């Protein structure tokens, strides 16, 4: 059997006198401590015009890709050299199937000749929710082969030494084809 003996001079348990845990502040203490500062910063940002809509700037473009503005300069110069004046950023309604149509924004278009172009850049795919799907591009090519509107879709081009010459050649061939068919 187990014997119990009393320990001399032991009246109560003794524990260390240091705090071994960190006291977690109550929620209302945190709100008072940090909430006021956060409210001041948010108010200041709203007053100077910072709106948190999630858009911080233009969409990123991979290095080495020709931007839409650079392509516009080259393509517009080829059209104007051939006597075709284009209106920028025209909305066209294209019938993709019987009873089904889509509205497209083209970079340049001449109403009287029903001729224009669209440089499909990465900026377009982000901004326009990728409206130039392969089906839409094939439908535009079909319309160009038939009776119009004659829209040349130009794929994205990498910047190299002769990207301007490449764009000029692509657009020049398109214009020559339309001249041969009697459209222009």
More confident residue, 54 or 101: 101
What pLDDT score was predicted for residue 79?
93
Structure tokens at 32: 């008072």
CA-to-CA distance for 116 and 57, rounded, in angstroms? Answer: 29
Average pLDDT over residues 85-103: 86
Q: pTM for this structure?
A: 0.62
Convert the pLDDT of each residue in 145-175 to its tens digit. Answer: 888 889 998 888 888 778 899 999 999 999 9
CA-to-CA distance for 182 and 114, rounded, in angstroms? Answer: 13
Which run of H or of E encompasses 41? Answer: helix 36-47
The helix/strand/coil state of 85 is coil
What pLDDT score was predicted for residue 74?
92
What pLDDT score was predicted for residue 5?
72
Structure tokens at 11: 């009246």
Going from N- to C-terminal start, the domains of the chain cover 68-180
What pLDDT score was predicted for residue 115?
92
| Secondary structure (DSSP) of 3-37 | ---PPTT--S----SS--SPPPPPHHHHIIIIIHH
Average pLDDT over residues 13-37: 67
The band of 61, judged by pLDDT with boundaries at 50, 70 and 90, is low
């Amino acid at each position: 059997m187990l014997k119990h003996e009393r320990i001399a001079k032991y009246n109560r348990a003794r524990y260390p006198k240091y705090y071994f845990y960190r006291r977690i502040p109550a929620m209302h203490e945190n709100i008072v401590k940090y909430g006021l500062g956060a409210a001041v910063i948010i108010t200041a940002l709203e007053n100077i015009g910072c709106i948190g809509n999630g858009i911080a700037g233009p969409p990123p473009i991979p290095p080495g890709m020709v931007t839409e503005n650079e392509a516009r300069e080259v393509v517009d110069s080829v059209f104007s050299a051939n006597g075709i004046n284009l209106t920028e950023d025209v909305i066209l309604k294209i019938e993709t199937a019987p009873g089904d149509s889509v509205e497209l924004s083209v970079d340049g278009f001449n109403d009287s000749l029903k001729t224009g172009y669209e440089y499909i850049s990465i900026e377009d795919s982000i901004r326009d929710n990728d409206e130039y799907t392969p089906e839409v591009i094939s439908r535009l090519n079909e319309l160009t082969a038939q009776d119009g509107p004659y829209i040349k879709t130009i794929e994205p081009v990498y910047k190299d030494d002769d990207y301007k010459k490449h764009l000029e050649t692509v657009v020049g061939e398109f214009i020559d084809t339309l001249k041969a068919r009697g459209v222009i």
